[in-house]
Structure 1
């Protein structure tokens, strides 16, 4: 654990145009704390406060409550005194009380994943002081009931008992609204709010067996520790795992003087973005609520209003509200509070220029005075990420290297998913309209509870509103719909961060959790029924709607061109058919790094001949069956070569054990026996003979080719004849024949001899030739150790990191699911080695094999073709050790291209 500096035990102050920290201290102060300090330094109006560092969080998790409080108590009390001096109020005083907010702040944005407490310091006595100070009894009681509700949930842990239950406090609020015949919290009378406070205290008493805490200092310490605890809360842990954030980062705690947006019609609160987080357009936008506190906007309890006039008019069109209704009921902040709007617009301009990135800001207006509560680099969709990076580059705010580093490679995946077919949309029925919270197209079956999102392969999570507890279900669902909330609600912000399609604020929806029923547009939908959602328009559509493939164009194409101008390594694809090859080429693949020939044998018209070959007892019988397969294989390769014209195509010879091709069900065995005119006993005997204790370490790969050389001969013939056929058409081919699973030099040389002899025969018979390479797939650790000797004969290496990981760790990919989750949870492994290349072990074998191979053959071509070829950190490792290319699935090609460029920039 790092030692905290002698200057401070862990408390850094900010406000009044001064600060102990700055924007570069995110690891220590968290993103929120570092940015609050930075804004204070550059003169942005920030409520004064202090940040307790992430290191204190780590110490708390190691040492506990007493030691943590003892370490920082003196500094916390001094920091509170500083806030008191700035605000002219006193914490814990009954006449002139200072109220505080307590918020989490990890080094990266984790919206809604950890906890917040507002209005801390209130009790029955200080409440009277607030009334005297403000002359606003309604505001005081409103703040008090909010504090009790939030503190009880966050600190005292009073949550709904089951997923069907409402929050106990919200249940009382809804009951009172029904009783009074009102819709919004702002319509509560002072007496209503008093009743809520008394009822809330009664819930605390009954649920916890204790009175609601009244001592402000006790409230503060318990809130600070609750925020630390929330770092290890269920939703935060899931979010960390989902994004790969380490557990030992911890969270900071930010304590600030409260400023109030619920002091009347001249007060409000909101969230804004310097650019559109969904589309990336350079348009200031956001949402606000009058007479509200910040959590109201993101919680979605009230549908907020739009900040700009342009946004308000667009929202009115989407919500099908007339311009007259909009002006009366939903005026923009620009119209309603023009002075505050102009200030806010100027601050957003300053902050975007200062941070040189799109900013997500929170603000409060108290009695006409504007305060900025937070700024951070805004969460954005993949589409917006690309557009904003390229626009900032064109505007001269950032350079090319920065623009590329602004691209999060995995997030490009969002741009590669299918979109709704325009023709299908013409026929689709729109059953409801919401706000386009996160773009994309999603079709799925309805689920109403987040913990049931995995019930269907394609699910759409439909909720009145989402909460942070729903994060896992949101991640698993294909799309999200909410009846409440706006463009900055929890559902919208989290969905954009995840790249999930989302429609929020669809107020016409009627959702019945108890009966698991949705009513929309005259339709009654039940759990499991299909709907479609368009996150780009806010439309909710009946049933399934057809989709089509995306295109690499516009700013996306510009990013790819920019990436290629920096990258040293090429990116190839793993493709087994012409369609995948064509898709990969359209995404910029520079060839095929792996074609698995066994996939071609499983089709109905081929499996019979394959089984006939396997069941044959003689070489003659096997050759007869292989002759039937030859034209099929040749046709396959022609299609792939045509799709990859002029580019290299690496074809792996037959790899899996033969038992995978034979039937194991009795009925299928009988059918095979009849087709081949042999006895059922013969079929069953051969199937039994092929069974192995550990087939992945058994009779497979080059062992098959060396046992049955006629298989290698047929496949080589098919490859080279296909290449010659295309040559006659004027199409250039570059075949690379790859021998799998080599562990000895002799295994390779004997297979290569068969390939070369077959090539000679084909060329002699056809009176023509094509260039071809023969190399090996390095999957066995022994091959990496003997790479210098194998390279005497092999013309290229391709590391098959899937099998190499299996054999290096001794983990079976098929069985590791029984223990890998436990290993990851216990920290035995930091990452799944089948998803992220193990650089310390497997990576060293790749590095060693490359170096030894090039000692013998200096220009040896080397790449990887395992699943790791599309994982950014693995791509960067491959660049560092000097590989020529990585190969990945077609839809990961753009991701690998950007990762390869970023590796050069970082290097």
Structure 2
């Protein structure tokens, strides 16, 4: 039951001294956190002296009391308006993205007003207004079934009479004629709709807090119907898709609210257009004023705004102003233009773009309005979208690429053997894996759209088919689309938006680089990766994983010969075949990076990854090596490990089979000498992986120094290099002081460090991680977002102990966490020198680092 609030209580007569129900003037107490964004924007428009109809705002607290059953004395609210005026009520939430109940127009319409309007604007328009209000009130306020009006034909007096009769019959009372009753019921209905369970859950899904408030604005209406030129529409000065200057919007004669946007074919152009009539021709003065008002709003509100307007007998009324909705590419154009026009500063422009939004600029994306036939979904591991025919093997992907056809490589999970297939594919889909699985890491490095962990689909590799969540079967050769931005797998082809990196992007990123105070490098394994890194203005290569260079066909056989070698001499002979290829790889990287740092990680994976797993592959290897198949299978079995990722890999392999590291060191140094002859001075950084003890570093350093001395003597050339350690075991963090005595840099590999700290397989964690996050075990997947408490504690210990032992040691992280804003914030606070991430994530990291630095400057302006 509604209880009236007396004057002097929470809801009083609108005025400058009442913060709860406030007449919007240039000086009334009005803030977004108390009255919502719409109310505050309307006050700004009033301050600009724009033709805004008289408006009263209800605060969040007032609306909350309305939802609780309290009824204000709305006659005090009505007294602020002309007694013959019709009103509308609109929601005013703190963030427009949180939504809210729909606007209600024509409040106050009754038999008396209908008769008056028939005289003023004609019976047709007056009847139409009354009929609209009855239907809106019946459905949105009285909560009657909308279908009860379906049998009412036309819009004339007979239809109006029928609508009143239907309402009275269904509601068991006459349609309310008192404007105060109408307004009170509408306010209460909108308040309760906001605080309902469904609405609350919907806005919480959009990031709204549980206690998010709603304000309401009551505004005098400009009718938009009647004699002379009447209508309504919206206008903005920018194209929301491209961000380029362009008057866009729609106008519809004899309409109200946002009817012009409903796709009505009667909507007309704003500017003169040879295709049809325009507002500029129908109401030139109103159109000219609209453009002036829009330009003023852009300059004074410092934003591209959309104007909602009504024209009544040629007179213009501005009903509202909202921020123009925009695509990511348009958002970038808009902030750069605002800064170049002197409306906002370059620093503010940098702060206005969400770093993750840059991913939409760097990759093709599914068009926002494109229909989506969803087959399944997984983890959005690498952004972008691509369409192609299904293939299930790397060989099939390469064959498809050779024919010039796009394909999607589908695997249960990828391995290093799939590298060539991934290079050939347009996108990758896997059943297993998480954010740091092989497919995810390589996909991001290649800029390849990738969805992993799509366990809700059935993968039938032997049958060469996949089954969607709704039971449909797709076979090899069928076309699908992978959306690595959303994690969705789509049927067929869809409309795409191409990536565009133009002068606007480069200008914006130069502004970001001027602010950031931490370096950003790229993880790059190939010349193509390095070119991408340079294109995105990485400050060098922070991680070059050399093992990826060994999976090319001409290198795989010598590697296998090395693995099957019986003694040191045979191993060296096999590696002699690989040496010139590795040297050429490093030389090309040095040429591309033109003197910028290149950090090369020595061989890391276990040897079994280079050996075939199928019987057919083993027979082919036996033939290539001129060995019995039994010898091949026995050797493969002898290399098998219960847990190869914690077995003989990394530095352990480098110490037990040192010829591999000797060959790589020689290739690096010979490439350094060759680059110097070409005018490229490089100081290569050699990184030893999976270190746990200082003695491991001592042993590797001794052999690397011996190789360096030999190359200097053979080539008669001087060069320098830096040797460091990849810190990716908990013990290495704890013993960072000992290790730093023998290392010039420490690069923390957060992928493996997270895996070992948690005791989690990063390839398998995706199977249960979503449930862990849902139940609050982890706040977020630790392979997706750096665990600053657990893993972070190890990182801090490593930093402190490493710097204590060697104050000038260079510190970095090079895991997939490196482009995340929260991870970069941690690295800045902990004292890291740079982060290194996948090439396509370099701009994201650059922007995130700049925003963090700017935030610090705003908090500590004197610093």
1:829–1:98 distance in 2 versus 1, CA, 3 Å: farther
1:456-477 alpha-carbon deviations (Å, 9 max, x no partner): 96479xxxxxxxxxxxxxxxxx
Check whether the contact 1:576–1:596 (CA below 8 A) recurs between aligned residues: yes
- Specify whether residues 671 and 285 from structure 1 end up closer, same or farther in structure 2 by C-alpha distance, changes over 3 A only: same
Please name the residue that 2:105 is paired with.
Answer: 119
3-state DSSP of counterpart to 1:116: coil
How far 1:40 sits from its partner (Å)?
Answer: 4.3
Structure 1 550/372 Cα, relative in aligned 2: closer, same or farther at 3 Å?
A: closer
Residue 375 of structure 1, aligned match among 321, 327, 332: 321
Mapped to 2, the partners of 1:851 and 1:270 lie a distance apart of 62
Report Cα offsets for 1:823-849 as digits up to 9, x if no partner: 444555444433333334434433442
Q: Which residue of 1 aligns with 2:188?
A: 221
| Residue 127 of structure 2 is aligned to residue 132 of structure 1 | no
The normalised TM-score by structure 2 is: 0.73
8 Å contact kept, 1:102–1:223: no
Structure 2 CA distance, aligned partners of 1:73 and 1:8? 13
Aligned to 1:604: 553
Map residues 783-794 of structure 1 onto 2, 5 A cutoff: 783-794=732-743
Q: Indicate yes or no: 2:805 matched with 1:805.
A: no
Quote the residue 1:259 is aligned against. 221
Q: Structure 1 regions of 5+ residues with no counterpart? A: 1-5, 58-67, 90-95, 160-167, 181-187, 314-322, 419-440, 461-477, 479-527, 532-541
Q: Is the 8 A contact 2:239 2:247 kept in 1?
A: yes
**8 Å contact from structure 1 (residues 118, 258) kept in 2:** no
Provide, for residues 593-643 of structure 1, a one-character-per-residue CA deviation record: whole Å limited to 9, x for no partner. 111112112222222333333344544444343333222222211211111
Q: Residues 347 and 511 of structure 2 are in contact (CA less than 8 Å); yes or no, is this contact kept in structure 1?
A: no
Structure-2 separation of matches of 1:794 and 1:340: 72
1:549, distance to aligned residue in structure 2 (A) = 7.5
| 268, 272, 293: which one aligns with 2:231 | 268
Could you report, residue by residue, the CA deviation over 1:164-198 in whole angstroms, capped at 9, with x for unpaired residues?
A: xxxx979x98x99xxx9xxxxxxx64379659969
Distance 1:680 1:337, change over 3 A: same
Distance 1:620 1:694 in 2: 30
Q: CA deviation at 1:650?
A: 0.7
For each residue in 1:388-438, what CA deviation from the matched residue of structure 2 results, as whole angstroms up to 9, or x when unmatched?
3333333332333223223333333343336xxxxxxxxxxxxxxxxxxxx
Residue 810 of structure 2 corresponds to which residue in structure 1? 861
Indicate the residue corresponding to 1:558 in structure 2.
507
2-structure distance, mates of 1:198, 1:622: 95
Q: Name the structure 2 match of 1:361.
A: 307
Moved more, 797-806 or 685-694: 685-694
Aligned to 1:731: 680
Counterpart residue number, 2:38: 32
Aligned to 1:494: none
Contact 1:289 1:304 (C-alpha < 8 Å) held by counterparts: yes
For 1:700 and 1:196, how far apart are their aligned partners in 2? Answer: 83
Query: In the alignment, what sits opposite 2:340?
Result: 394
The answer to whether the 8 Å contact 1:738/1:774 transfers is yes
SS for the counterpart of 2:684 is strand
Q: Comparing 893-902 with 248-257, which one deviates more in the overlay?
A: 248-257
With over 3 angstroms needed to count, the CA separation of the structure-2 counterparts of 1:235 and 1:248, relative to structure 1, is closer
Q: d(CA) in 1 for partners of 2:261 and 2:697?
A: 62
Higher mean C-alpha displacement, 36-45 vs 8-17: 8-17
Residue 87 (structure 1) aligned with residue 94 (structure 2): no
The answer (yes or no) to whether the contact 2:546–2:600 under 8 Å persists in 1 is yes
Q: For 1:82-131, what per-residue CA distance to the aligned partner results, in whole angstroms no more than 9, with x for missing partners?
A: 53122245xxxxxx796543436342x428x5542423868xxx553552
| Largest Rg, 1 or 2 | 2
**Of 596, 619, 623, which aligns to 1:674?**
623
User: Over aligned residues, Cα RMSD in angstroms?
Assistant: 4.4
- Taking structure 1 as the reference length, what is the TM-score of the superposition? 0.70
Aligned equivalents of 1:249, 1:659: Cα separation in 2: 56
Contact conserved, 1:14 with 1:37, CA < 8 A, in 2?
no
SS at match of 1:110: helix
Gaps of 5+ in 2: 1-7, 12-17, 379-383, 389-426, 428-477, 482-491, 857-863
Instruction: Give the whole-Å Cα distance in 1 for the aligned partners of 2:840 and 2:818.
Output: 12
Matched, 1:110 2:81: no
1:190 aligns with 2:142: no
Classify the secondary structure of the residue corresponding to 1:777: strand
Corresponding residue to 1:892 among 841, 844, 856: 841
| Residue number in structure 2 paired with 1:101 | 89
Determine if the alignment matches structure 1 residue 292 to structure 2 residue 255. yes
Q: For 1:7 and 1:748, locate their aligned partners in 2 and report how far apart those are by CA, in whole Å.
A: 76
User: How far did residue 714 of structure 1 move?
Assistant: 2.0
Aligned length: 730
CA distance in 2, matches of 1:615, 1:210: 92
* 1:656 partnered with 2:656: no
Change beyond 3 A, Cα 1:734–1:829: same
